[in-house]
């Protein structure tokens, strides 16, 4: 189906990236899932072909486009191919924008070219053992001592944590100032006292390493502070709508992948002497799946249009994240059921969609938090 959202140049970019996925990701993704990690060479290859950090200015090696639709293409094609462990959107859409928005000239010169090339892999460290969706509950500290900060604390559930060269760490630079005492610092691989813990065993997204990070008196140069001290919470709140929209985009594409796989299965699989698709109940389920996908696509495309126009609100992004993630899980569940016993086998993509999608209702802010954000707006009379 042709979507009015995209122009011919976006579709040309999609064709090129889809070829990259089919050539360099799909044949190896199963092995990466077993290894719990994606080789650095894949990042470098994506960077060489212009598939990372497209919005970075040409002065730092990027293409300089601020058209978010290119980011959408990347997220959709990865999800449609069920190679969900490839963390390009995390790097391009979520982490590197902190460097482009809040980094100074020296920081951009130091880090952005490597991020564009895929030589530097980025991560963001927000969650802690006792603080997830409630970012005001973080305990990691970064205390200024002359020309450096002394960072102490622990982070967990950090995507790309095992391989990241640059980690944007959310820390308290003034523990007595509440959310106004939170800042963002870039911790670099190799800094003394920065240790990576185990790669966590998840029920899905196996190819994407998710790790614990530990900071023991890590001396982080003051030059690695992003933006202003004490403004970190504000920076996070300003960036979260894009992160949540990114999750919604991938969720709708994952749901479409589940629908495509299930429809193909129902055309071929026989039960009770006829194709599954000939059974009325099966057709009803497929109708529900398609309707869910199309409703989600329409709303997400509307949100993308609003983002490009600078009009996407926190509440709208929260609606998209909440509804589309739950919809994607619902569609994957329907698909798994129609696959029968095969749907429970990890070798089948429908099973991976079911397990991979589940975390989307948790990360980026749990869906209960999304509902609270929306509900507050309604009660305030601004909805």
Residues marked active site are found at 243
- The CB density around residue 237, as the number of other CB atoms within 10 Å, is 12
Residues 6 or more apart from 83 whose CB is under 8 A from it?
A: 21, 25, 26, 29, 207
**Beta strands 122-125 and 166-172, pairing class:** parallel
| 3-state class (DSSP) for residue 201 | coil
Q: How far apart are CA 44 and CA 118, in angstroms?
A: 4
Distances (CA, A) of 177 to 182, 230, 232: 8, 9, 12
Beta bridge partners of 150: 143, 219
Q: Return the residue matching tokens 């090696």.
A: 61
Structure tokens belonging to residue 255: 């749901």
**How far is the CA of 45 from the CAs of 40, 51, 208, in angstroms?**
9, 9, 17
Nearest CA to 175 out of 139, 144, 132 is that of 139
Give the residue among 93, 80, 84, 366 at the shortest CA–CA distance from 205.
84
Residue 284 region, left (φ>0) first, then alpha (ψ -120 to 50), else beta?
alpha
Distance between CA atoms of 360 and 173, rounded to whole angstroms? Answer: 30
Q: Which residue, chain included where needed, has tokens 């790309």? A: 160
User: Token pair of 362, please?
Assistant: 């948790």
Sign of torsion over alpha carbons 171, 174, 179, 183: negative
Cβ-Cβ contacts under 8 Å for 296 (sequence gap 6 or more): 248, 251, 252, 255, 323, 324, 327, 328
Gap between the terminal Cα atoms of the chain: 32
Distance CA 267, CA 382 (A): 48
Could you give the 3-state DSSP secondary structure of residue 55?
coil
């Amino acid at each position: 189906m042709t979507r009015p959202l995209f122009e011919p140049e976006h579709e040309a970019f999609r064709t090129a990236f889809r070829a990259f996925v089919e050539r360099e990701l799909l044949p190896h993704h199963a092995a990466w899932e077993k290894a719990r990690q994606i080789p650095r060479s894949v990042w470098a290859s994506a960077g060489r072909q212009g598939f990372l950090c497209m919005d970075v200015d040409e002065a730092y090696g990027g293409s300089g486009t601020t058209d978010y639709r290119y980011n959408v293409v990347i997220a959709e094609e990865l999800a449609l191919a069920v190679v969900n462990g490839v963390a390009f959107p995390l790097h391009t859409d979520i982490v590197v924008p902190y460097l482009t928005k809040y980094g100074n000239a020296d920081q951009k010169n130091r880090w952005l070219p490597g991020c564009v090339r895929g030589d530097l892999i980025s991560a963001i460290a927000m969650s802690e053992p006792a603080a997830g969706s409630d970012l005001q509950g973080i305990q990691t500290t970064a205390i200024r001592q002359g020309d450096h900060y002394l960072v102490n604390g622990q982070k967990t559930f950090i995507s790309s944590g095992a391989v990241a060269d640059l980690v944007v760490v959310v820390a308290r630079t003034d523990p007595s100032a509440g959310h106004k005492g939170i800042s963002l610092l870039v911790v670099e691989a190799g800094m003394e006292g920065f240790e990576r813990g185990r790669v966590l065993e998840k029920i899905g997204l196996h190819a994407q390493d998710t790790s614990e990070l530990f900071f023991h008196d890590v001396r982080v140069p003051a030059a690695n502070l992003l933006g202003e001290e004490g403004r970190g919470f504000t920076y996070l709140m300003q960036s979260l709508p894009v992160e949540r929209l990114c999750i919604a985009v991938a969720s709708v594409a994952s749901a479409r992948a589940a629908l495509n796989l299930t429809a193909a299965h129902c055309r071929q699989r026989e039960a009770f002497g006829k194709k599954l698709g000939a059974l009325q109940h099966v057709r009803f389920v497929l109708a529900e799946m398609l309707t869910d996908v199309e409703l989600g696509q329409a709303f997400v495309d509307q949100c993308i249009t609003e983002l490009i126009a600078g009009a996407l609100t926190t509440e709208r992004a929260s609606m998209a994240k909440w509804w589309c993630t739950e919809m994607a899980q619902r569609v994957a569940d329907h698909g798994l059921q129609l696959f029968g016993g095969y749907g429970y086998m990890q070798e089948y993509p429908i099973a991976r969609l079911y397990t991979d999608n589940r975390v989307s209702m948790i990360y980026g802010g749990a869906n209960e938090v999304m509902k609270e954000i929306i509900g507050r707006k309604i009660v305030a009379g601004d909805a």
